[in-house]
Structure 1
Amino acid sequence: MAKILFLQRDGYESFGVMYLAAALAARGHEAEVLVESQEKASFYDKARALRPDVVAFSLMTGLEGWAAQAASRVKATWDGPVVAGGPHATFFPEFVAEPGLDAVCRGEAEDALPDFVEALAGGGDGAGVPGFWVKTPSGLVKNELYPLRADLDSLPLPDRGLYRRRYPELVEGGGVEVLAARGCPFSCSFCYNHVLRRLYAGKGRYVRRHGHDRLLEEIARERRDRPGGVRYVGFVDDLFIQDRDWLEGFLARYRAEVGLPFTCAVRANLVDASLVRELSASGCKVVSFGLESGDERLRNEVLGKKISEEQILRTAELLTAHGIRFSTFNMFNLPGETLALAEKTLGLNLRLGPANHPWSGLLQPYRGTRVFDHIVERGLASGEAMQAGLFHQAVLRQPDTEALTAFNACFYWMVRLPRWRRPLFWLARHGGGLTERVFGLAASLHRYVRLMEPLEGGNPWLSALRLGWRRLRAYL
């Protein structure tokens, strides 16, 4: 039996880590997780004390700098294998060149990682395992991706106890998140789904869903095992409503067997009156959907959404009529965007009414996506200059970037408090980075509370303040 230690910077339950821990356990191995934000100064000492056989990272882009530094620190006092996986390693496998890393894994890894661990346990270097790029004495070995699992239900249930055992404070609250599907059939230019489909060409069906029985079993297990029980369910796949036949059958059983309020993601061009009625009758209280930009050209030509303003307005109208709160996703600093175009995004959000509690961020043009190519081809920036990270960082530099960064920082409050939009924007532009952080933290807290009210019931302020304190600690 091998022990695999996952290192993580921020305090949250990672689906990737939980699925991998379960896959490793099914093959007789043990997984542990250490979260730096929880351990603080003792993080590396505890990592060494656990004496793992393999150290692993599951990374989103934006965390690669932290992971490279952490891998080097681990390697300074420990000579075991260090591997990285997750979205960043999948799309940027050259990350393996970091001195602290021995290998990266591309794509879904429930089969690949256990195979790699067992190859190491047998005295090999794992260089023949599909999905892995491995450093060897004779050079870098690059393998093709593992084929996709056709049957998601053949995967073991994610190991949610992984975080509960060490960090019970991370699973406080009444909600449980469930992943009903993998993959999205749409091809927005800023998203990696079209890149993943290309990477997996010939390796299996890309969009797959769990069966009704499997999802209901997962929810039932969490209702039984989660401290404090479960008061609501969050379906966190990219697009919960994409298969209407599957959805109708599932919602009928969910109403009868679970009956808890839930939240999910929709797409405005797929929403109609019958769908919203069905969602509402089944307990849906909150949805999210992408608006991205209030400018038709930016939204549909540059970002490839293929969604009209009328569809967005109709979706908001239907959701409001059925008492469903919602959160639009919005992006700023798009290629060619001016402050005047950003005002159109604000204007469209204002037309959606008070049920809207929007999220916003700055465009992160990831290499390999069509929006990245759009920027480079038009000479707006070089590929080398665009190092995408987290959503509060401006990557693309253009004439209105500073103004758009400030606009993004106070966007939530301009939607919620439209009479104060001008002084809010002035404060964001002239208050510096600390003002932007304060706006962001306050917006996160308020948005969380208002969206959680119909799910948690009562007063969710206490859990919101705990969440805010964890985020504030990350700033300090």
Structure 2
Amino acid sequence: MDPHRRPKGPVRDRGIPQKVLLLRILRERHHVYTDGHRGPAAERRARDEIQERAGIHARKLQALATHIPRPTSGHVCERGFCVIIHLDGADMRVLFATVLFDDRNFQPMGIYHLSASLKAAGHRTRVVDASSPKAVLKAIEEFKPRMLAISTLTTRYRLFQREICPEVKRAFKDIFIVIGGLHVTLMPESIGDDGIDAICRGEGDHVLVELVNRLDGDGDYLNTAGFWFKENGEVFKNPAAPLIADLDGLPMPDRGITDIYPYCRDIPIGIFITSRGCPFACTYCSNASLRELYPDTPGFFRVNSPARAVEEMELAVKRYGYKRIVIMSEVFGVQKKWLAEFAELYRSRIGLPFWCQLHPSMIDEERAEMLKEAGCATVGLGIEAGNPRLRREVLGRRVTDDQIVEGIRILHRYGIKVHAANMIGLPESDLESDLETIDLNLKAGVDFPDVSIFQPLPKTRLAERAVELGLFDGNYDDLPTTINPSAHETTRLDVPHKKVLKRLGFLFPIASKSWLVRRALPLLLKLPLEPLYLVAYKLATAWLKLRYQVGLGTSQLLNRQFYRMLLKYMSY
């Protein structure tokens, strides 16, 4: 059977109102496979739903599932076959645009989820690495989408708003441009910027499908929940849609959408997210502001079931051959019962070393033992500031020096390395307090001391505090495109040690690993050797990241792949 040929038979002749039916069929038993679940119950639910929506008799559905030996569209799903039956009518095309590897966003999980939801509803999707307007224009010319869906953070918003959106509108005036992400969610007034037709506030899995369905059917879309629209100069404001409570009910992420880019497809690590939201309320983070968008919603922090989380990882590992897993959830394993079940499933079905993120207050012997048994190799930990007052009063992180040091020692006893996040140039900080952060990393024996120069994010409490103190003018335009010290710009805050902040950032990882360099810092910060410090910083951070996050060791120093990846990480 030609994989691109449309199937014949009674299914196509029954006048089914849907344009596309997607049936996932397991190779082993030809069971219908839907929404990440399998087994008799899931099979019955799938058949009932399809029968109700399309009018297919269950026995004919079974015959269809049994007799199609390969995907009719050529698309293979990770655990089975995707049978796509194209019916009359044109499905809508959506082009996603984001900046990929340049933002360490080489596996854009948000786009994976949105694309999966749209495809399940019968629409077509593609993604473009929006490194320049030219790349986006070329993708639009080739794919001919009706919608351009942009996903961006604050640091890249102006690239799209100033360069890409106006260029796209000049060349393709009828294309519908929608922007989503944290920036527009917290700053919805961005709808007034030129070239933007809509912004998505909050989670888009369900509401983007609703919007695309309405646009595809030429229906009224201006009252779609979760969006603000602009039409003929008038702005239409709709409330945020409810948070998605059942994460297991979402389709498996569409990782294949980025397979056209080798730096997404061939990377040896797989990125996964097992939860949404965060139970903590740090002042520098957007989660506290996002929580205010849903004042009557008790379940802001939600998690996948351990079974669903492990199944998603298992499918992706089989397809891409990952050698290491990175779990980028805001905080991992909050509930010990959940972690125990995850550890058992992960160990038996995947068994790869993985990286995850914890809050220092969570670490104890029991949790460390479960992580070790599961295969955890590295834990990401937020130290953020070495000065106790800054950490408690300015950052809202109620954790002591002793908790941090003891937590790291516990992890080390179980053979788990520590990747610590730190910030310098905070409001109310000075050179002395930033040196205290280096000292705390040294004292705790952090394996990978990572550092960023603080940049204020819209609507966060810490950014508002910086404005109140006269340290920041509240203008979020032209923020550095990365928070790494290698950014050409330094902090936007008028902190007293602003002139030496970049040098301190360059030397931070090395000084946090060497008492000798730490003692020499007062002298090194006075020397105008930034180009040399920059090279040292990039080499150190690239090696530490590849060693403790990607998992490449000294035995692979002669591996050609190691040097290719080293150059990529140094390009940040």
TM over 0.5: yes
TM-score scaled by structure 2? 0.77
Q: Which residue of structure 1 aligns with residue 72 of structure 2?
A: none
Distance 1:169 1:391, change over 3 A: closer
- Mapped to 2, the partners of 1:440 and 1:62 lie a distance apart of 22
Structure 2: runs of 5 or more not aligned = 1-90, 485-489
Q: Is the 8 A contact 1:261 1:455 kept in 2?
A: no
TM-score scaled by structure 1? 0.92
> Which of the residues 274, 284, 295 maps onto 1:201?
295
- Equivalence map 1:330-409=2 (5 Å): 330-353=422-445, 355-384=446-475, 388-389=479-480, 390-392=482-484, 393-409=490-506
Cα deviation 1:107-153 (Å, max 9, x = unaligned): 00001111111222222463111111100126101111111111001
Cα deviation 1:36-67 (Å, max 9, x = unaligned): 44x89655223322211101111111001111
- Equivalence map 1:202-217=2 (5 Å): 202-203=296-297, 205-217=299-311
The alpha-carbon deviation at position 377 of structure 1 amounts to: 2.5
> Which of the residues 382, 392, 398 maps onto 1:300?
392
Distance 1:473 1:247, change over 3 A: closer
Q: Which residue of structure 2 aligns with residue 3 of structure 1?
A: 93
- Equivalence map 1:135-150=2 (5 Å): 135-137=230-232, 139-150=234-245
- Equivalence map 1:301-320=2 (5 Å): 301-320=393-412
- Mapped to 2, the partners of 1:119 and 1:462 lie a distance apart of 50
State the structure with more CA Rg.
2
Q: Which residue of structure 2 aligns with residue 182 of structure 1?
A: 276
The alpha-carbon deviation at position 439 of structure 1 amounts to: 4.0
Distance 1:411 1:35, change over 3 A: same
Q: Which residue of structure 1 aligns with residue 556 of structure 2?
A: 459
Q: Which residue of structure 1 aligns with residue 339 of structure 2?
A: 247
Q: Which residue of structure 2 aligns with residue 470 of structure 1?
A: 568
SS in 1 for 2:154: coil
> Which of the residues 1, 8, 16 maps onto 2:110?
16
Give percent identity, aligned residues only. 29
Q: Which residue of structure 1 aligns with residue 415 of structure 2?
A: 323
SS in 2 for 1:278: helix
Of residues 121-130 and 333-342 in structure 1, the stretch that sits farther from structure 2 once superposed is: 121-130
- Mapped to 1, the partners of 2:180 and 2:303 lie a distance apart of 22
The alpha-carbon deviation at position 425 of structure 1 amounts to: 7.0
SS in 2 for 1:304: coil
Q: Is the 8 A contact 2:552 2:562 kept in 1?
A: no
- Mapped to 2, the partners of 1:100 and 1:315 lie a distance apart of 49
Distance 1:104 1:219, change over 3 A: same
- Mapped to 2, the partners of 1:34 and 1:472 lie a distance apart of 23
Coordinate RMSD, CA, aligned: 2.4
2:151 pairs with 1:58: yes
Q: Is the 8 A contact 1:174 1:456 kept in 2?
A: no
The alpha-carbon deviation at position 376 of structure 1 amounts to: 2.3
- Equivalence map 1:22-101=2 (5 Å): 22-37=116-131, 42-68=135-161, 69-79=163-173, 80-101=175-196
Cα deviation 1:294-316 (Å, max 9, x = unaligned): 10000111000001000000011
Q: Is the 8 A contact 1:273 1:318 kept in 2?
A: yes
Matched AA of 2:414: H
Q: Is the 8 A contact 1:291 1:330 kept in 2?
A: yes
Structure 1: runs of 5 or more not aligned = none
Matched AA of 1:77: A
Q: Which residue of structure 1 aligns with residue 225 of structure 2?
A: 130
SS in 1 for 2:280: coil
